[in-house]
């Protein structure tokens, strides 16, 4: 029994050592079926990283497997969740209507960032309670993604102090989008 436990520990340590030595890629295990990302020990260049996909209108998945929650904005939910239920009760909108709006916001975000290289700017907190990165995202042409989503009418405001660096900018863009009936406000 002790030999098996000791062997398992050495194997685990070997995998950990391999992961640390190859941390610049952030890959712990890779096969033709996919890869397991190990961000521990990894250092990523968040000034030049590719967006793998838009998870929804306000969440991105990066090429390294990490998820980014866009600070300061909130798009309608697409998938069944407690938040979708709360939003339906709060707005008195049917769940299917909210999900349809969420799909539109996701499509806008997807067209804006998917497959493109971006840079991340962090505020006071780097991660949320779900482990996602909290960031302001910029395309290489300088487009401020969080602001563009609000400006084009696909997001409301969501402010969680202390991450409030652009709250005034987002507020103005939100008001302008609503007044001009852009995006979801048509």
Cβ neighbours for 19, distance < 8 A, ≥ 6 positions apart = 28, 38, 40, 41
Of 63, 66, 67, 77, which one is the catalytic site residue? 77
The reply to whether 126 belongs to the active site is no
Whole-angstrom Cα distance, residue 172 to residue 166? 10
The reply to whether 69 belongs to the active site is yes
Whole-angstrom Cα distance, residue 67 to residue 48? 15
Whole-angstrom Cα distance, residue 120 to residue 137? 5
The reply to whether 114 belongs to the active site is no
Cβ neighbours for 147, distance < 8 A, ≥ 6 positions apart = 166, 169, 170, 173
Of 63, 69, 86, 89, which one is the catalytic site residue? 69
Of 66, 86, 117, 132, which one is the catalytic site residue? 132
- % helix / strand / coil in the chain, to the nearest 5? 40, 25, 35
* Residues with catalytic roles: 69, 77, 132
């Amino acid at each position: 029994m002790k030999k098996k436990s000791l062997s398992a520990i050495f194997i685990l340590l070997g995998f950990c050592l391999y992961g640390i030595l190859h941390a610049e890629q952030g890959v712990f295990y890779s096969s033709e079926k996919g890869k397991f990302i190990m961000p521990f020990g990894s250092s990523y260049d968040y000034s030049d990283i590719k967006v793998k996909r838009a998870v929804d209108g306000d969440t991105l998945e990066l090429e390294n497997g990490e998820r980014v929650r866009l600070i300061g904005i909130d798009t309608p939910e697409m998938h069944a969740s407690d938040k979708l239920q709360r939003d339906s009760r709060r707005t008195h909108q049917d769940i299917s209507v909210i999900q349809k709006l969420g799909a539109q916001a996701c499509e806008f975000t997807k067209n804006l960032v998917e497959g493109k290289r971006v840079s991340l700017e962090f505020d006071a907190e780097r991660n949320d309670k779900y482990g996602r990165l909290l960031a302001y995202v910029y395309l290489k042409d300088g487009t401020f993604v969080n602001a563009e989503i609000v400006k084009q009418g696909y997001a409301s405001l969501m402010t969680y102090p202390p991450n409030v660096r652009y709250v005034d900018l987002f507020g103005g863009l939100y008001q302008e989008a609503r007044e001009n009936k852009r995006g979801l406000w048509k």
